[in-house]
A and B are shown apart, each in its own frame.
Chain A
Amino acid sequence: MNAIVSASGLRKRYKNTTALDGVDFRIESGRIVGLIGPNGAGKTTALKAILGLTDFEGKLDVLGFDPRTQRDRLMEQVCFIADVAVLPRWIRVSEAVDFVANVHPRFDRAKCEAFLARTKLTPNQRVKQMSKGMIVQLHLALVMAIDARLLVLDEPTLGLDILYRKQFYQSLLEDYFDENKTIIVTTHQVEEIEHILTDLMFIRDGKIVLDADMDSVGERFAEVMVGADKADAARRMKPLDERQVFGKSIFLFDGADRATLEAMGEVRRPSVSDLFVATMKGTYA
């Protein structure tokens, strides 16, 4: 059994909304999972359940621990970055490094200092003097120096400019990720992470509506660009979505026959964002 996280019947209700409605999923080791959903779909609640930050009903196993009761031990193996700027404003770079180095058994100080050397951060700088991008650099340097098995990222690049965003994911891939580590990430900037994901999970209204690895997403879903003459034929095949570009129609199909599609026009692999928009159609209606 190689599951890092396995959930079954995960349920969480807030006063008048259901954040998680009987969710089941498994996350294997060495994967980068994108947990993607509209606002209020239950992404953050799912992550908080995994991190033991909230109570829930159902069964949840993270690295063999129950996050509700064994949180202290679990957090030795799990790191997380919640959306930016949660580092305390008063702390200095040197204090943050000192503190984590002394309370975290799996922290590698030399590694952290090497990451920091690549940034403009100075040891005496306080978080309140930093830009959002710099705060994330510091947080990332702290987290990447921890030899954790699971890294949870909740909107880690919210409010960052594109340079910082690219650098963030690049550092993660080049200097952190390997087959013993697992990353779960939620974000709205889907285009930027779709090439690094190995697995995709769509969540809507507290339910998982798509849970697949990227290879099977490519096999299952296809996008065809069809001229006006064949558009009706394509519509009869019940596409998930249709949009118009330059007088042609682009149809998104789930599990349609490849040969038939290729006969109609140019077949492409849909982007995650198009897939997302098609799947979530009518969420806010």
Chain B
Amino acid sequence: MKTFYWQVKREFWENRGGFLWAPIVTGVVFLVLNVMAIVAAEVMSARHGIQIGGNNFRELIEKASDGDLAQVGAALDMTMLSSMGLITIVLGFVVFFYCLGSLYDDRRDRSVLFWKSLPLSNTGTVLSKVASAVVLAPAIAVVVGIAVGLLQLVIFSLVLSFHGINMWELLTLAHPLRAVASLLSSIPVYALWAAPAVGWLMLCSAWARSKPFLWAVAAPVVAGLMVTWFGIMGVFNETAVWFWSNIVARSLLSVFPGSHFALDRHSFRSMSGDLGDAHNPLALLSPAQTYAVLGSPNLWIGVAAAVAMIAAAIWFRRVRDDS
């Protein structure tokens, strides 16, 4: 267990740039852009003598009904989560390229010989990399996303408070704790959903003698094109669409958090009902929503495929000998 902890730590050291700095930089850039937009808006409105909010806005809030307040809260939640959206996309890229390089880069620079000179099992090594991809990286991204989101919320509230709106009153309308809980609880679902892509990318990484990216992307895409072609020829019916969304996309795009909304029909089933809930963006991220995908065979078949591919990656890690 201690060894495993240090192996994951080792992954963090090696990939500090992707795991830690990429989300932080994304978040900071996002905040800076927001501040710039706010400043620009303020300057513009001052120049043209337009009063944003002001007393009118004040009155608006006082006269607002519960439903309207919920809308304001939803808007604030949206503000808070918007940074997470961007960080999520960055996380997808980080995990994608991390997996592709995880079992290839050290073979290329021959440092694999150093790691293999230590009493570490190949299984432990590969699993520590899987854990880094599906738990460590998203966990860091979520923590950074939460911090940025809260900062964002505070910045907006501060700005509005200059326009005579009570900041604390406003903050109570948002649901920061609920957002934090939802985001944290989505990590295990992400891990399961991303597993087949992680498994496939790591398998390519362990197997390829060169250019793992090309193999990882070309193999499923070419297979997809073949299936489509046979589909056009009338050999298979309807398989092409199925193949693209269940094989190609699952093996490459599942590393992007939230991709199950797009790729799994199950996930959207209960959504329309929930969204009536004041159109709150948090409804989309609520555990009830994210965990709905656990009922989808798509997820579990993916996990099973991932287990097989990771086992194959371990085997290749042992036998690949290209020094």
Contacts and interface: CB of A to CB of B under 8 A. Distances in A.
B111 interface: yes
A119 B291 CA distance: 55
Band of interface residues on B: 20 to 34
Band of interface residues on A: 20 to 34
B66 interface: no
Interface string A66-103: 00000011011001111001111111100100111011
B114 A73 contact: no
Interface in B92-129: 106, 109-111, 113-121
Dominant secondary structure of chain B at its interface with chain A: helix
Contact of A87 (B9, B114, B319): B114
B321 interface: yes
A79 B13 contact: no
A103 B119 contact: yes
A255 interface: no
A163 B14 CA distance: 32
Contact of B120 (A79, A81, A103): A103
Contacts of B116: 51, 53, 75
Given A72-B120, A99-B10, A100-B118, A53 B111 contact: no
B321 A72 contact: no
Contacts of A95: 10, 13
A49 B322 CA distance: 14
Contacts, number: 72
A143 to B, nearest CB: 8
A53 B3 CA distance: 21
A89 B6 contact: no
B66 to A, nearest CB: 55
A87 B119 contact: no
B3 A102 contact: yes
A48 B13 CA distance: 29
A102 B5 CA distance: 9
Contacts of B118: 75, 100, 103-104
Given A72-B121, A82-B114, A103-B3, 8 more contacts: A53-B116, A80-B117, A82-B117, A82-B323, A87-B111, A91-B13, A99-B9, A105-B119
Interface of A: 44, 48, 51, 53-55, 72-73, 75-76, 79-82, 85-92, 95, 98-100, 102-105, 139
17 contacts: A48-B323, A72-B119, A72-B121, A75-B117, A75-B119, A82-B114, A86-B110, A88-B106, A88-B109, A88-B114, A92-B13, A95-B10, A98-B6, A102-B3, A102-B6, A103-B118, A103-B120
Interface of B: 2-3, 6-7, 9-10, 13-14, 106, 109-111, 113-121, 319, 321, 323
The list of the 5 closest CB pairs from A to B, nearest first, reads A88-B111, A75-B119, A76-B119, A82-B113, A102-B6
